[in-house]
Structures are given as C-alpha cells and as structure tokens.
C-alpha cells in the first residue's frame, strides 16, 4: 500500500510515496527548499510542488515543526509566526484538493521508528530526538505516544536547548564533533534527569553520521542509538497517519 508523506522542516520540504508494508520510500523523495519567510502560503505552495512532482492525488500526511492539535498549528519556532493558530489541515486540503492529516514532525518520525526502526519491539520509556534546524522530540511509554512534547525548548543553562545543541547551532558556530557532542551530552543529561528513559533514538539527517558523535557522548545511563530510518522517518510517519484517513 502506497501513501504519500510530506515532511516540512526549517530548511527543506521533502516527500515521497511510502510502502507501508515495509516502511520504505517507494520512489526517491523530492525536496524543495523551505521558503523564507516560511509563511503558510509559501510553505503550502512548496508542499503542493512536492506532491505534484509525483502526480499523487490521494490521502496526504504532512508533518510540521511545532505543536499540532487537531490539525491546528499552535507554535512556530522555526517558521513564520503566521502559522500560530492556523487550521493547517484545512488550508492544505483546500490547496491540494485531497484529504489531509497534519501532525508534529518528531511525533511522526517517532511513530515510524517505533514501527519500522530503532524502537521496534521495545517497551519502557523511549525518547526520539530529531536533530536539525531545531530539536524535535517524541516520547513513548510502552509504545504509546505522548504527543507534542517539544523537549527541544527546555531551558538549559539559560538558553532554549535547541539554540545550543541543534545541528544548526553546530554549523552556525563551526563546532567540532567533540564540542558539539559535549553540548549534546549536557542536553541529554537534562532530559534524562526529567524522564529517566530506557532509550534515546537520535534522528534527523545527522543520524547518517552517528559514528562521528554518538561514541563521544558519555555519562548517560540510557542506551543511545541512531535512528534506522535516518531522515526519512518523518515522511514515513506522515504516510502512516494518512493511511488512517
């Protein structure tokens, strides 16, 4: 069964049809740059461009980098503030003419990893973190999602944690892998103190380079593993949600 998923990020909008029997992309994903400013109209145009690239016209799952409740976007940390309070599900559905579900990007990635990836078959408390423009989070208790946790916005040493420990922070400040891993360790220690997880799953595009930084993170009691679906997890999770429409 092929269903389409789109993942809206701070730097790119990417999507592809997904084979939900295997949790893999059935065609190579298509990506466009996230417009700046990332207004709803401009981003939805980008979503339309990605979907139109494949000529797809069925149910659509779309992830968003912020809190999403019943299709309404409630926060907008790395996109235009015009998203706050917007019925994004209705706006995207009207623009594309198909049924749409909108969900938090990290929640979508987490559901995909729990079904097809690093969290498959695991119980206990599991936290997936998507490391990219910001830090997204998905919290699972014995396989059940606690939605919209937004742990990237925890305060750490007087700062919004994602401003210091995201991949964007590493790139903007030209941090070495060692320096960035040290910051990431401090952040993980803070999250561990609050939630005592059994497992951290580290996702986002940087998960392709896990060997460069995961071994440098020491002093964390929880197991730490890279996401298995890498940066496609959000697309897969979005398609899984769309399959329920």
CA distances from 241 to 116, 119, 140, 232 (A): 14, 18, 17, 15
Residues 165 and 160: their CA atoms lie apart, in Å, by 9
**pLDDT tops 80 at residue 1:** no
Residue 64 lies in a domain: yes
Task: Report yes or no on 113 lying in a domain.
Answer: no
For residue 43, give both structure tokens. 């981003």
- In this structure, the answer to whether residues 25 and 48 fall within a common structural domain is yes
Task: For residues 92 and 178, state if they share a domain.
Answer: no
User: Among residues of the chain, what percentage have pLDDT more than 90?
Assistant: 97
64 closest CA partner among 110, 9, 14: 9
**Which of 30, 98, 97, 111 minimizes the C-alpha distance to 63?**
111
In a shared domain, residues 158 and 93 = no
Are 81 and 24 contained in the same domain?
Answer: yes
Residues 79 and 151 in one domain: no
For 110-136, the pLDDT digits (tens) are 999 999 999 999 999 999 999 999 999
**Residue 116 resides in a domain:** no
Q: Indicate the pTM of the whole model.
A: 0.96
Domain boundaries, position 13: 2-107+233-242
Same domain, yes or no, for 138 and 178?
yes
129 and 224 in a single domain? The answer is yes
Is the model's pLDDT at 162 over the cut of 80? yes
Q: Is residue 114 part of a domain?
A: no
Q: In this predicted model, what pLDDT tens digit does every residue of 207-232 receive, in sequence order?
A: 999 999 999 999 999 999 999 999 99
Separation CA 8–CA 44 (nearest Å): 9
Q: What is the CATH number of the domain that holds 48?
A: 3.30.420.40
Tell me, yes or no, whether 115 lies in a domain: no
Structural domains of the chain, count: 2
pLDDT at 5 over 90: yes
Whether 94 and 136 map to the same domain: the answer is: no
pLDDT of residue 99: 98
Mean pLDDT over 162-175 rounds to: 97
pLDDT per position as a tens digit, 57-88: 999 999 999 999 999 999 998 899 999 999 99
């Amino acid at each position: 069964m092929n269903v389409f998923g789109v993942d809206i990020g701070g730097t790119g909008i990417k999507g592809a049809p997904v084979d939900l029997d295997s949790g893999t992309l059935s065609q190579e994903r298509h990506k466009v740059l996230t417009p700046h400013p990332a207004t709803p109209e401009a981003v939805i145009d980008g979503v339309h461009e990605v979907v139109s690239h494949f000529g797809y016209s069925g149910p659509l799952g779309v992830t968003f980098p912020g809190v999403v409740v019943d299709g309404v976007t409630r926060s907008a940390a790395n996109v235009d503030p015009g998203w706050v309070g917007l019925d994004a599900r209705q706006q995207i559905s009207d623009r594309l003419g198909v049924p749409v579900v909108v969900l938090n990007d990290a929640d979508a990635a987490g559901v995909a990893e729990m079904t097809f990836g690093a969290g498959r078959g695991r119980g206990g408390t599991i936290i997936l973190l998507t490391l990219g423009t910001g830090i997204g989070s998905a919290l699972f208790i014995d396989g059940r999602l606690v939605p919209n946790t937004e742990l990237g916005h925890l305060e750490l040493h007087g700062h919004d944690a994602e401003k210091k420990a995201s991949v964007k922070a590493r790139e903007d400040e030209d941090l070495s892998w060692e320096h960035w891993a040290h910051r990431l360790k401090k952040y993980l220690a803070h999250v561990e103190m609050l939630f005592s997880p059994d497992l951290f799953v580290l996702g986002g595009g940087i998960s392709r380079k896990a060997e460069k930084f995961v071994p440098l993170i020491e002093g964390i009691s929880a197991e730490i593993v890279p996401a298995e679906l890498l940066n496609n997890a959000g697309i897969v999770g979005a398609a899984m949600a769309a399959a329920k429409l």
